[in-house]
Amino acid sequence: MRVHVIYAHPLETSLAATLHQTVIENLTEAGHEVDDLDLYKAGFDPVLSAEGRSLYHDVPTNRAPVQPYVERLEAADALVFCHPVWNFGWPAMLKGYIDRVFLPEVSFVFEKDRLGPGLTNIRKLATVTTYGSKRWRAAVLGDPPRKNATRFLRAICHPRVKVSYHALYNIDRLPRQDVDAFIEKVGKSMRKF
């Protein structure tokens, strides 16, 4: 299976970087073809400019600035997002990627009087993420990153997409053995992906 991994964290020494590496290594070990996109290393521009917004519904002109990223999405059978949760949301870099690349006729299509999924090639979808807060606090606030990963992204993929969400909460206060156990759990999940 061709798995497109989308990673967003600026620090190479972060827990997110360790998890990203765990994802890549275990998917590769399992025999998948991995297309790894590190948004920071790639120098992705997350800003949706005035011109970009004005061309947003102009298909295919809207694709031109991000065509290589669109092609990678369209070539994938599965997606794995690897990122931290900051301020109860996606990092700005990842949000900007979604805003600029998940365009009309890419992530959604117009079908008569309604919108339909555009990424029907995606049959598996996973998120690997970390939170600084406890799970109960995220739940009280509605846990937007979890909803985005398990509802929004599900809605734009194949109707039978299999979704998994791997989250480690309260990372700044956990004992090292809990962190290591989560890393192992993510590795095991990616080997079974």
* 83 strand-pairing partners: 129
- Identify the pLDDT of residue 129: 98
Classify residue 81 as exposed, middle or buried by CB count within 10 Å of its CB (0-12, 13-18, 19+): buried
31-60 per-position pLDDT tens digit? 999 999 999 999 999 999 999 999 999 998
Helices (H), the chain: 15-29, 50-54, 67-75, 92-101, 135-140, 144-147, 153-155, 176-192
- Identify the pLDDT of residue 113: 80
105-119 per-position pLDDT tens digit? 999 998 778 889 999
Classify residue 6 as exposed, middle or buried by CB count within 10 Å of its CB (0-12, 13-18, 19+): buried
168-185 per-position pLDDT tens digit? 999 999 999 999 999 999
Which residues in 38-59 are b (16+ Cβ under 10 Å) and which e? bbeeeebebeeeeebeebeeee
> Count of alpha carbons within 13 Å of 141, Cβ hemisphere only?
13
Residue 24: partners with Cβ closer than 8 Å, 6 or more residues away? 5, 34, 36
- Identify the pLDDT of residue 114: 84
| Nearest-10 crossing angle of helices 67-75, 92-101 | 90
pLDDT of residue 147 exceeding 90, the answer is yes
3-39 per-position pLDDT tens digit? 999 999 999 999 999 999 999 999 999 999 999 999 9
- Identify the pLDDT of residue 110: 84
pTM score:
0.96
- Identify the pLDDT of residue 74: 97
Cα of 14 vs its chain's centroid, Å: 17
pLDDT of residue 136 exceeding 90, the answer is yes
- Identify the pLDDT of residue 190: 98
